[in-house]
Amino acid sequence: MTIWPLLKRAMLRLATAFVLLIAGYWAAGMIGGAIPANAGWRPPAQGITIYVETNGVHTDLVLPKRAAGVDWTRLVKPAHFGDPRYAGFDHLAFGWGERHFYLETPTWADVRPLTVLHAAIGSDETLVHVEYLPAPRPSPVVRPIVLRAAEYRRLAAFIRASIDAAPGETPRIDRGYQDFDTFYGAKGRYDALMTCNAWTGTALRHAGVRVGAWTPFPATVMGWF
């Protein structure tokens, strides 16, 4: 008896286990995303409008440059961007993720299996992605959320705490995709449980917003708004 039949069976079992693992992870994520946290929350009639947006891979939170006593220009400086003129826009988008996954996957077309595997195993190298932009227009990939002032301040505090820099200190900076965005060194460990989209959901839950209990995928965030 040759070793080839045994090897083939082992490879088949390994492939089957991998497929089941991925399917189980997907199912758990969709279930976690469907279970509401802060179930009693409703948006106020008037308040501060933020946005949640997605490019199909990552989700970002878009906040006004100044609102409810929070002034992001004290941290996010024009000099941190390839073209400082973009700092004239009145909104900023914030997202969090694993360093290599973020830098190497700006779109789905750039996703590579090894990059995904590296991120899923876990990494302490994380970044906060920041982009200056004009006030977004609602669309299927950009959803508005109205917050109370206290909710907005809690959200802003969560985002600020994710950036690895003490008050008054300049964060470590990585060049962005374009001249209008940049990356800051971040706190936190990225893995299959705490993905970039799970971070977005955690930020919204921290603010008190009704969103899924665990939101590892873009759909599990965007589906709530």
Q: Is residue 198 predicted with pLDDT exceeding 70?
A: yes
Tell me the pLDDT tens digit for each residue of 51-80: 999 998 889 999 999 999 999 999 999 999
Instruction: Report the predicted TM-score, pTM, of the whole model to 2 decimal places.
Output: 0.89
The answer to whether 100 and 115 are in contact (CB under 8 A) is yes
- What's the average model confidence in pLDDT over 96-120? 74
- Output 6 or 196, whichever has higher pLDDT: 196
The answer to whether 56 and 108 are in contact (CB under 8 A) is yes
Tell me the pLDDT tens digit for each residue of 13-23: 777 776 777 78
Q: Which pLDDT score, from 0 to 100, does residue 70 have?
A: 98
Collect all residues with Cβ–Cβ distance below 8 Å to 51 and sequence separation of at least 6: 61, 62, 91, 136, 138, 142, 143, 144, 145
